Amino acid sequence: MSTLGYGLGVDLGTTYTAAAIRRGDSVEVVRLGARRAEVPSVVFLATDGTVLVGEAAARRGEQEPARVAREFKRRLGDPVPVLVGGSPYSAHALMARQLEHTVRAAVASAGAKPSSVVLTCPANWGPYKRDLALQAARLADLPEVRLVSEPEAAAVEFAAGERVRQGETIAVYDLGGGTFDAAVLRRTATGFELRGEPEGIEQLGGVDFDEAVFEHVLTTLSAKFDAEDPEVRAALVRLRRDCIEAKEALSEDTEVLVPVALPGLHTRVRLTRSEFEAMIGPALEDTVGALRRALRSAGVEAGQLRAILLAGGSARIPLVSQVLGAEFGRPTVLDPHPEHSVALGAARLTGPSSPPAPGPAPGFAPAPGFTPAPPLGSAPASGRAPGFAPAPGFSPAPGFSPAPGLAPAPGSAPAPAPGSAPGPAPGVVPATTGRSAPTAGRVPVIGPAPVAVKATPMPLVRSAPVSVPIPGPVPGSIPGSIPGSIPGSGEPAASRRWRRIGQAAAIVLVVAVTVTAVILLSNRDEEKKPPLTGAPVSSAPASCGFTDEFDGRVLDPAWERTRPDANLVVAGGVVEMAAPEGSDIYQNYVDAPRLLRPATGDFVLRAEVVAQPSQFYQGAGLVLWAGAARYARVELGYGDYNEIIFEYRDGGAHKRVLEPGTRKAARATADRVVLELTRSGTVLRARWRPSTATDWHDLGTITMTLPAALKVGVAVLNRAQNNAKPTAFNAAFTSVSLTC
């Protein structure tokens, strides 16, 4: 595990907290919980003083609801303390506990403390609340923290995946668990610039929708309960959790049944999507009004927007995009994981992009076929062999130690760890250490002892853009010179001569080391080659049975990657693949990016897919591969049809089990589904279900001529047809499994 420095972005939301880390130009989500990457923003204080955060706190809170704190972010700045177990706590002290848990998870994942931290906040927070947020960071013993608004972080993450040209304007509609933000941003040469005044509604979000569903269920029951009865209180906590799950399920289904298990009453309450939409309709109209005011403040007409970016977990609600599309007539863009987009954008803002590696000396020409070795510590290139993983790095630094005490005196700084070096004088801010060194992306290693720093509030400056710096030469510099220096500027000739000699020596050394490495690798590969015989060399034996939940940061070497040039990222418990334009698995088109593993005999192949195909033809799902003339596909695709399809080829023409757009086709109402393909000899059966449901839907069976051993896995397709304009497309897979 590497101890190289990294930047940490944290989105401490009202209901959930997410985090991401940046190394060089690469960002990835940090898994904070056991089941999900994000964790509930919940703190539990036990009678013995033990503090639990996240999933563990939520579980204990079901049995002892009086000792759990939720939604404390909404209480930030409120002089009335939050009562937890009968004791008063400030909201920012509880936020500090949530931040401590987040940093511990990042340290466990990265092996060291972060060198720089960006914490997000609602766009309409003033200096007072921003200062309290920074106090929470100090209580959590974080290094120097920078505050960035949530819409700005979401825009940065959007621009990382979609090309936003200079001068284009986007609107951010951020509907989270407890707050709503609307902001307008314009792309500049260096990043994003906030236009006008952002608008927000502090007491509006997913928790209010949860409460509406909860009240609907209680009203439907028409029963009275003793709220002071501990058994009833615990049952109501469970009922509230079931209401939340029902609300989330309605984003993919049109009807749910909410289980009710109260003392003396066991039943189920039916809730339809239309009923839910009627509950939240007035609140969504308020958000539309806020976005309209943000556009008016920015002096931007809706028709001038490139898109409306949806952020926050509650933006998944289908009615949101419908209302915005009807009101503004602009496309809405929803990230496959909107609950992570703000954290990823914050991580990108922890430091600049790494500058390009310096080129060779003028006139230098490498030998034909020569491939330079990658810089030490750099991420694997997309064209590298499938499953390549760097050698194990340094040993992890000692773990993070949270500051003792929940609420120190206001304004106090955390005490230095025993034996640590004294911190800087009051008012002194140490130099930032979060910038990547050229090429290798190395930063100074952060030791175990915390360093006291002065974190000052950073109110939003409207005139200055918040940006991700674009790497490039320093203005006024000459290629090959020291940035900012110009010949004749006063640098002694002897200094220039020695500098040039040093540069030449460095180039010679790099070339010599690289050539040596290439020779050694070639010799090693030669040693591995089988002896030359007349018989063909057999491939690795087929196998059956595996489960990959993509919990690491590199792809398992067992996967065969058919398109190393296609972008692929493993982070946060998912593998995300992009499909280059024109890639497909249809007749003579067999160049779609795939991840394949060998399989033999009968099996059940299953995967959870997250995709939002927008046109014909884009899709993602399972693939069984016995060659270009024999394959089968089960996908979420067909663009606007948004259907689950089952297609195959058995030596002849490409066939579809169900024709798209017909009454018999399997129409999906979800962008997250579980697909399954079962092989029994020569018979294949396919079925699917929404990931939040338990009932499966059959897609039919086919009979194919199949060899005993073949390859199975997942694929992403993107080939514009029917005069459609090519657009980018990618999909994510949270798990892939094969059961014999």
In terms of C-beta distances under 8 Å and separation of at least 24 residues, what long-range contacts does 627-632 make, across chains too?
628/590, 630/704, 630/705, 630/706, 631/585, 631/590, 632/677, 632/684, 632/686, 632/702, 632/704
Gap between the Cα atoms of 172 and 486, Å rounded: 43
Check residue 464 and report its DSSP letter: S
Using the predicted structure, report yes or no on whether residue 178 has a pLDDT greater than 50: yes
Question: 358 Cβ partners below 8 Å, 6+ apart?
Answer: 438, 439
Among the residue ranges 44-53, 513-522, 661-670, the one predicted with the least confidence is: 513-522
Using the predicted structure, report yes or no on whether residue 409 has a pLDDT greater than 90: no
Using the predicted structure, report yes or no on whether residue 315 has a pLDDT greater than 80: yes
Q: What's the pLDDT tens digit per position in 265-309?
A: 889 999 999 999 999 999 999 999 999 999 999 999 999 999 999
Average pLDDT, the chain: 75
Give the domains, in start order, of the chain with CATH numbers.
7-205+278-348 (3.30.420.40), 206-277 (3.90.640.10), 546-739 (2.60.120.200)
38 within 8 A of 32, measured Cβ to Cβ: yes
For residue 728, the model assigns a pLDDT of 86
Provide the total of helices (H) and of strands (E) in the chain, helices listed first: 10, 36
Task: State the CB neighbour count (10 A cutoff) for residue 15.
Answer: 23
Average pLDDT over residues 212-229: 84
pTM > 0.75: yes or no: no
The upper half-sphere exposure of residue 150, i.e. CA atoms within 13 Å in the direction of its Cβ, equals 37
3-state secondary structure of 220: helix
84 within 8 A of 69, measured Cβ to Cβ: yes
What is the per-residue burial (b if ≥16 Cβ within 10 Å, else e) of 229-238? Answer: eeeebbbbbe
Among the residue ranges 463-477, 556-570, 609-623, the one predicted with the least confidence is: 463-477
Gap between the Cα atoms of 120 and 395, Å rounded: 31
Radius of gyration of the chain (CA): 28
The more confidently predicted of residues 524 and 269 is 269
Which DSSP helix (H) or strand (E) runs through 234?
helix 230-249
Q: What's the pLDDT tens digit per position in 11-35?
A: 999 989 999 999 888 899 998 987 7
The more confidently predicted of residues 99 and 465 is 99
Q: What are phi and psi of 102, to 5 degrees?
A: -65, -45
Range with the largest mean pLDDT of 142-151, 406-415, 453-462, 636-645: 142-151
Among the residue ranges 239-253, 475-489, 719-733, the one predicted with the least confidence is: 475-489
Gap between the Cα atoms of 493 and 250, Å rounded: 73
Question: pLDDT class for 611, splitting at 50, 70, 90?
Answer: confident
